[in-house]
């Protein structure tokens, strides 16, 4: 007797033998028992889930002379004829090779004849999604109202390609992917029936490699048994036949990548190549290993989700404890893209080696993406700080205000500022006070132009350094590249060694926590100018020297000039404050400072003069 493949030899003869599709089997059995069988069925699902097997069982059941609890008896002549393919009333059609209108027209002509042997004439159309549009349209009318003795069973792996007009005329049944446990149990039954000695670990790996397909699992078992005929089917032999790698190798590879040990990772890959393993399968299995590791790191109860042994689960938990979820997901992303690239690659090993080195050196793995992510994080931090400042301004905790009387002669500006928690060094003060003089006398023309183009904000940085904050990236980068020259010129001008820090707002760099804007402090010191014209003088205030009235008039004129100049300066300062508030200049500085605390605000008034 010729040899028959295991998946054909062990095709389920009854509904009870169908594994993993209880929701469909129960429904069909009830329909047969109650004589409520429909005229058209659509079986959907991935490969090897039992669509064709259930269709053949249903064809035998509806034609069986003595059905048993909805199942075909398997003993009557009709059941035997259908099982052996001798029954002309059951027609199997492959839509991939019979997808034209003429093929459907043949079916339409045949349905007008009654069945010769059984009760029903059954048409099983496999891969029905391969029919052409014209063929689907030709089938519509017959599928909607066939003769009472005709039964259509359509099967497909791509239900999304079926026209909605066909779907609405059929009872749809979705076949589930078969679980690893179910496949493993079926493989044990087959090996016991065939007298094959196989390790449980080997059968479980075959079940996992089948990817939810019972037919694939039986085909793989058939292949492994043939390779090791007459010997025990062990786990290592299965790995050798399938070109797979032991799980321990994946654990070693993950540890090497996590430790950024590129040399160790490349050595592991070299061993895999020497063993003759399939590299595409190696990467696919490694992605699966990383998937299990990701699930273990996010949940404690994952025994039903990850299909691994207890020992391997323990190892995964140990590795998950020492690694963050972001790293695991990064590995999955890289190797998933690599897996897709390997399908069309001529030099698979080179691509894998590049991926391993890139992971071990994150600066090579999308450096631009890392830079963008860093800048985004910096901007998000600044946005949160700005929200806090705006909230404080609304609550009155931070104020930048100005007031003027009706005549516009009295000006005042109050800034609540943070008290300085450390003194400002004298050398830093000297630089701030003489910065304009320093710019004018700079020897390096490139530095001079850069600092005049984008005048930096001067501040007290960490460790009593002079911090220069630039608003543009070009000028800040230029000064940063010549920082030593700048420090030398500062030392020559002010006679002291001054360390300089460069901050670049265009690159998302923030101020130090100890940041104190010296120029903001200087400009924040407010004074009110009240001229003689707007001040009412008491009658008893008179000068003893009343003879020198011309001098008094002259002093009044000078006072008015000074007041007007002060008004213009302060107006300019207030305009700057309205356009760019102190919170924008020094967000960490402007807090609880009041004139009563440290005298940062004062008034300067002209001495009132008596009208002549």
pTM for the predicted model, two decimal places? 0.55
Per-residue pLDDT averaged across 170-190, rounded? 93
CATH of domain 180-242: 1.10.8.60
Check residues 230 and 521 and name the one with the higher pLDDT: 230
The token pair that represents 296 in the structure block = 């273990």
Question: Do the Cβ atoms of 574 and 501 come closer than 8 Å?
Answer: no
Look at the block and give the residue holding tokens 């020497």.
274
The pLDDT, as a whole number, for residue 611 is 44
In this prediction, residue 11 has a pLDDT band, given cuts at 50, 70 and 90, of: very high
SS3 of residue 122 by DSSP:
strand
Question: Do the Cβ atoms of 319 and 255 come closer than 8 Å?
Answer: yes
C-alpha–C-alpha distance, residues 150 and 107, integer Å: 11
Q: Which CATH architecture has domain 426-523?
A: 2-Layer Sandwich (3.30)
C-alpha–C-alpha distance, residues 526 and 9, integer Å: 98
Question: Do the Cβ atoms of 294 and 328 come closer than 8 Å?
Answer: yes
Name the pairing type of β-strands 500-504 and 466-470: parallel
Residue 7: exposed, middle, or buried by beta-carbon count in 10 A (0-12, 13-18, 19+)? Answer: buried
C-alpha–C-alpha distance, residues 152 and 141, integer Å: 13
Over 70: is that where the pLDDT of 507 sits?
no
- Residue 238, strand partner residues: none
Question: Do the Cβ atoms of 467 and 511 come closer than 8 Å?
Answer: yes
The pLDDT, as a whole number, for residue 141 is 92
Distance of alpha carbon 250 from the chain centroid: 24
The token pair that represents 272 in the structure block = 């895999």
Look at the block and give the residue holding tokens 């209108």.
101
- Ranges in the chain annotated CATH 3.40.50.300: 6-174
Looking at every residue in the chain, the average pLDDT score rounds to 77
Over 60: is that where the pLDDT of 192 sits?
yes
Q: What is the pLDDT of residues 149-177, one digit of tens each?
A: 999 999 999 999 999 999 999 999 999 99
Residues whose CB falls within 8 Å of the CB of residue 403, separated by 6 or more in sequence, listed in order: 410, 411, 412
In this prediction, residue 486 has a pLDDT band, given cuts at 50, 70 and 90, of: confident
Over 60: is that where the pLDDT of 601 sits?
no
Residues whose CB falls within 8 Å of the CB of residue 317, separated by 6 or more in sequence, listed in order: 296
In SS3 terms, 212-274 reads as CCHHHHHHHHHHHHHHCCCCCECHHHHHHHHCCCCHHHHHHHHHHHHCCCHHHHHHHHHHHHH
Q: Which of 117-131, 212-226, 276-290, 409-423 has the lowest mean pLDDT?
A: 409-423
C-alpha–C-alpha distance, residues 81 and 245, integer Å: 46
C-alpha–C-alpha distance, residues 18 and 29, integer Å: 12
Please give the DSSP secondary-structure letter assigned to residue 538: P
- Ranges in the chain annotated CATH 1.20.272.10: 247-360
The pLDDT, as a whole number, for residue 336 is 92
The token pair that represents 244 in the structure block = 């797979």
In this prediction, residue 541 has a pLDDT band, given cuts at 50, 70 and 90, of: very low
C-alpha–C-alpha distance, residues 70 and 53, integer Å: 15
- Ranges in the chain annotated CATH 3.30.300: 426-523
Q: Which of 53-57, 170-174, 479-483 has the lowest mean pLDDT?
A: 479-483
Domain 6-174 falls under CATH 3.30.460.20: no
SS3 of residue 589 by DSSP:
coil
Sheet of strand 40-44, all strands in order from the earlier edge strand to the far edge = 90-94, 121-126, 150-156, 40-44, 171-174
Q: What is the pLDDT of residues 274-287, one digit of tens each?
A: 888 889 989 998 99
Question: Do the Cβ atoms of 32 and 67 come closer than 8 Å?
Answer: yes
Q: Which DSSP helix (H) or strand (E) runs through 40?
A: strand 40-44
Look at the block and give the residue holding tokens 């190549």.
273
The pLDDT, as a whole number, for residue 191 is 94
SS3 of residue 91 by DSSP:
strand
DSSP 65-81: SS-BTTB--S-SHHHHH
Torsions phi, psi of 594, nearest 5? -130, 155
Question: Do the Cβ atoms of 416 and 594 come closer than 8 Å?
Answer: yes
Domain 247-360 falls under CATH 1.10.357.10: no
- Ranges in the chain annotated CATH 1.10.8.60: 180-242
**CA neighbours closer than 13 Å in the CB half-sphere of residue 370:** 8
Check residues 551 and 429 and name the one with the higher pLDDT: 429
Residues whose CB falls within 8 Å of the CB of residue 166, separated by 6 or more in sequence, listed in order: 42, 128, 136, 139, 140, 143, 154
Q: What is the pLDDT of residues 448-475, one digit of tens each?
A: 887 888 888 887 776 678 888 887 777 7
Per-residue pLDDT averaged across 333-360, rounded? 90
C-alpha–C-alpha distance, residues 435 and 519, integer Å: 11
């Amino acid at each position: 007797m010729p040899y028959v493949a295991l998946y054909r030899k062990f095709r389920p003869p009854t509904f009870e033998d169908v594994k993993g599709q209880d929701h469909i089997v129960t429904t069909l059995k009830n329909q047969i028992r109650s004589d409520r069988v429909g005229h058209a069925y659509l079986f959907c699902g991935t490969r090897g889930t039992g669509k064709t097997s259930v269709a053949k069982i249903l064809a035998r059941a509806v034609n069986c002379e003595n059905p048993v609890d909805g199942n075909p008896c398997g003993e009557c002549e009709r059941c035997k004829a259908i099982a052996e393919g001798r029954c002309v009333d059951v027609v199997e059609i492959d839509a991939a090779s019979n997808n034209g209108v003429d093929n459907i027209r043949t079916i339409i002509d045949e349905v007008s004849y009654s069945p010769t042997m059984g009760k029903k004439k059954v048409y099983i159309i496999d891969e029905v999604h391969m029919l052409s549009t014209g063929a689907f349209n030709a089938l519509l009318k017959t599928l909607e109202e066939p003769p009472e003795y005709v039964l259509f069973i359509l099967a497909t792996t791509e239900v999304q390609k079926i026209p909605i007009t066909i779907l609405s005329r059929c009872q749809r049944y979705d076949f589930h992917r078969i679980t690893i446990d179910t496949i493993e149990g079926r493989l044990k039954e087959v090996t016991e029936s065939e007298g094959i000695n196989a390790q449980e670990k080997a059968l479980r790996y075959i079940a996992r490699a089948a990817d939810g397909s019972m037919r694939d699992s039986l085909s793989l078992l058939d292949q492994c048994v043939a390779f090791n005929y007459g010997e025990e089917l062990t786990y290592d032999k299965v790995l050798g036949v399938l070109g797979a790698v032991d799980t321990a190798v994946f654990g070693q590879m993950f540890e090497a990548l996590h430790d950024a040990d590129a040399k160790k990772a490349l050595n592991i890959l070299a061993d895999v190549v020497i063993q003759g393993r399939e590299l595409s399968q190696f990467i696919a299995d490694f992605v699966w290993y990383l998937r299990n590791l990701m699930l273990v790191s996010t949940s404690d109860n994952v025994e039903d989700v990850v299909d691994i042994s207890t020992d391997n689960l323990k190892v995964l938990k140990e590795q998950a404890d020492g690694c963050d979820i972001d790293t695991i997901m990064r590995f999955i992303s890289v190797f998933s893209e690599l897996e897709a690239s390997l399908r069309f690659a001529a030099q698979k090993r080179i691509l894998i080696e590049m991926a391993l080195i890139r992971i071990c050196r994150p600066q090579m793995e999308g450096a631009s993406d890392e830079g963008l992510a860093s800048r985004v994080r910096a901007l998000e931090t600044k946005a949160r700080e700005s929200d806090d400042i705006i909230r404080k301004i609304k609550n009155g905790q931070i104020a930048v205000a100005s007031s003027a009387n009706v005549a516009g002669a009295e000006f005042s500006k109050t800034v609540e500022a943070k008290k300085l928690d450390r003194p400002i060094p004298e050398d830093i003060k000297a630089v701030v006070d003489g910065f304009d003089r320093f710019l004018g006398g700079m020897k390096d023309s490139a530095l001079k132009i850069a600092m005049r183009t984008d005048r930096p904000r001067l501040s007290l940085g960490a460790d009593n350094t002079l911090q220069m904050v630039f608003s543009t990236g070009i000028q800040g980068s230029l000064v940063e590249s010549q920082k030593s020259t700048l420090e030398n010129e500062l030392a020559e001008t002010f006679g002291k060694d001054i360390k300089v820090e460069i901050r670049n707002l265009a690159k998302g760099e923030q101020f130090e926590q100890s940041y104190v804007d010296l120029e903001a402090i200087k400009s924040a010191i407010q004074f009110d100018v009240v001229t003689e014209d707007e001040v009412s003088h008491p009658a008893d205030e008179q000068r003893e020297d009343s003879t020198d009235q011309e001098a008094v008039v002259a002093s009044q004129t000078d006072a008015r000039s000074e007041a007007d100049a002060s008004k213009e300066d302060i107006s300019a300062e207030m305009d700057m404050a309205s356009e760019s508030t102190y919170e924008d200049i020094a967000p960490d500085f402007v807090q609880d400072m009041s004139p009563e605390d440290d005298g940062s605000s004062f008034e300067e008034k002209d001495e009132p003069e008596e009208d002549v």
